[in-house]
Amino acid sequence: MKSSEHFWNKLSENYDKKAMDNAYNLILSKSPKYFKNFDTVLDFGCATGLYAIEFSNKVKEIQAFDISSKMISAAREKALNNQIENITFSQTTLFDKNYKCKSFDTILALNILLYFEDIEKVLNRMNDLLKAGGLIITSTACLKEKRTFVGVLSGSIILILKKLKILPYLKFVTMLELEEMITDCGFKIIETDILIDKPATEYYVVAQKIN
């Protein structure tokens, strides 16, 4: 966790400029229909709180967390500056025992699943945390999909940087593989969309807990 935190701490200062891309705008436009004003939401890997801040006026409460202390510090400052009081930001992980089973209506898992080797373990934990009929809203770079030459080259560079431990762990999956993992972990997929196709496929999935 420490090496990953160091990586994300370094990115925190300029994170918003890079994160506020076309995929970000599409997520903001596509997701609100799934929120209700009495919902309790968990924002998994919230970074600087970009999504939590935007969605805070649509739900009752958001509990947001990240492993990066600097990301959380930036998120708290942003919420304070915007006078938003229904978000709690914490530096922790998804497996924090303070997060109780069947506590959340929706879990945001945006741009985070690919950083886990065992995605199924993460999905099962999210399933446990959701109330009956709860939702996960995800967006994942599916780095195993067919890509342009630039994308293939970028993928090769990513692999090199991973081996040099300059980048955190990255899981290469296809859209179909991601869908299969989600359904195998007790979810029914209710919406999918390709947010960005090049240089890598950014895949948006909304799924509902079925057990």
CATH code of the domain containing 11: 3.40.50.150
> For residue 147, is pLDDT > 60?
no
What does the mean pLDDT of the chain come to?
89
> For residue 204, is pLDDT > 50?
yes
Share of the chain above pLDDT 90, in %: 73
Edge-to-edge strands, sheet with 87-91? 87-91, 61-66, 40-44, 104-110, 130-142, 201-209, 187-196
* pLDDT given at position 104: 98
Q: Which of 48-57, 151-160, 171-180, 196-205 is the least confident region?
A: 151-160
Does residue 33 or residue 15 have the better pLDDT? 33
65/177 Cα distance (integer angstroms): 26
The number of angstroms, rounded, from the C-alpha of 56 to the middle of its chain's C-alpha atoms is: 16
178/109 Cα distance (integer angstroms): 13
Q: Which ranges of the chain would DSSP assign to H, the alpha helix?
A: 2-11, 15-19, 22-30, 50-55, 69-81, 119-129, 149-163, 175-184
> For residue 209, is pLDDT > 70?
yes
For residue range 35-59, what is the model confidence (pLDDT) as tens digits?
A: 999 999 999 999 999 999 999 999 9
The strand pair at 104-110 and 61-66 is best described as: unpaired
Per the structure, the complete domain to which residue 43 belongs is given by 2-209
* pLDDT given at position 5: 78
171/64 Cα distance (integer angstroms): 23
**How many structural domains is the chain composed of?**
1
> For residue 4, is pLDDT > 90?
no
Token pair for residue 209?
A: 């807990």
| Averaged pLDDT for residues 176-187 | 97
> For residue 162, is pLDDT > 90?
no
| Averaged pLDDT for residues 166-175 | 76
CA atoms within 13 A on the CB side of 96: 15
pLDDT classification of 11: cutoffs 50, 70, 90 = confident
Model confidence, pTM: 0.89
For residue range 117-137, what is the model confidence (pLDDT) as tens digits?
A: 899 999 999 999 999 999 999
* pLDDT given at position 3: 55
62/179 Cα distance (integer angstroms): 26
* pLDDT given at position 167: 56
